[in-house]
Amino acid sequence: MTSTRTVTLRPDLPLTLTETGGDHGRPVLVLHGGGGPASVAGLVEHLARSTRVITPVHPGWQGTPRPEWLTGVGDLALTYLHHLHEQGLRDITVVGSSFGGWVAAEMAVRDTAGLVAGLVLIDAVGVHVEDEPIVDFFGLDARGVADHAWHDPDRYFVDPTTMPAAQLAARRSDMAALRAFAGDPYMHDPELLRRLADAHVPALLLWGAEDRIVTPAYGAAYAAAFANARLHVIPEAGHLPHIERPEATFALLDAHLRNVDGPSHATG
């Protein structure tokens, strides 16, 4: 069963959420990257077979309102934590792709109420790693994005000149929202890397071996900063391994969810 609703967290901040799956299993919050909810649709479909999945639309994407004050990823993380608390949801596993992985990491270090039980970061941005710069995504044309993001760029490249005007306008609007959150400082929080040691929940970092936006070496530094994290590099995949290599990605994800649900992480 799937339902979409809008909740008002404050007068100027409506939040659109889709819930799918059943009431069985620990709830999972899935956070999309710059490509919007469509970029995690297959991931949500897979998870909904065994869990209750909550997928918000980040404010500013898909034409949703984003108040002018909401420009910090930390503020977005607190917004989601506030919603989970208001809904009485606990023992959440947060799964984030790219920009969404950054939001997930910020949630973990700000979670003073112990709502988050586990993390899955998929080719996440959000930290500064010496000698492993994040590629200037905003400076790439469509061909450049495809070449950096995919193992098989020819398969996934879409020529923007062939896109309907409405779809192209929607993509530009989404990129404007991404720039508002991640444009300065570019795609990272300067303090996040050192703060990750305070996040003790089990974290799984999944990385495409051929991601040229954030490299596997960047992912290794990200994982090493957590108190309890593992990195798995997925061959023949780029920045979105859950799209290019879904079977391998989902197998690792499912094993991690079983670990998070295990007796050592049960609540009293």
Cα-based angle 88, 31, 103 (whole degrees, multiple of 5): 90
- Spatial neighbors of 244 by CB under 8 A, at least 6 apart, are 150, 151, 152, 156, 208, 236, 237, 238
Euclidean distance between CA atoms 29 and 90, whole angstroms: 11
The pLDDT value recorded for residue 262 is 58
- Per-residue pLDDT tens, the chain, 268 aa: give them: 899 999 999 899 999 999 999 766 789 999 999 999 999 999 999 999 999 999 999 999 999 999 999 999 999 999 999 999 999 999 999 999 999 999 999 999 999 999 999 999 999 999 999 999 999 999 999 999 999 999 999 999 999 999 999 999 999 999 999 999 999 999 999 999 999 999 999 999 999 999 999 999 999 999 999 999 999 999 999 999 999 999 999 999 999 999 887 543 333 2
Domain positions in the chain are 2-117+129-230+240-260
Q: Is 17 helix (H, G, I), strand (E, B) or coil?
A: strand
The pLDDT value recorded for residue 183 is 95
The pair of three-digit structure tokens given for residue 130, joined into one six-digit string: 């010496």
The pLDDT value recorded for residue 1 is 81
Euclidean distance between CA atoms 137 and 214, whole angstroms: 10
Q: Is 243 helix (H, G, I), strand (E, B) or coil?
A: helix
The pLDDT value recorded for residue 259 is 86
The CATH architecture one would assign to domain 2-117+129-230+240-260 is: 3-Layer(aba) Sandwich (3.40)
Cβ 174 vs Cβ 38: under 8 Å:
no
Residue 99 one-letter amino acid? F
The pair of three-digit structure tokens given for residue 253, joined into one six-digit string: 């994800």
- Indicate the length of the chain as a whole number: 268
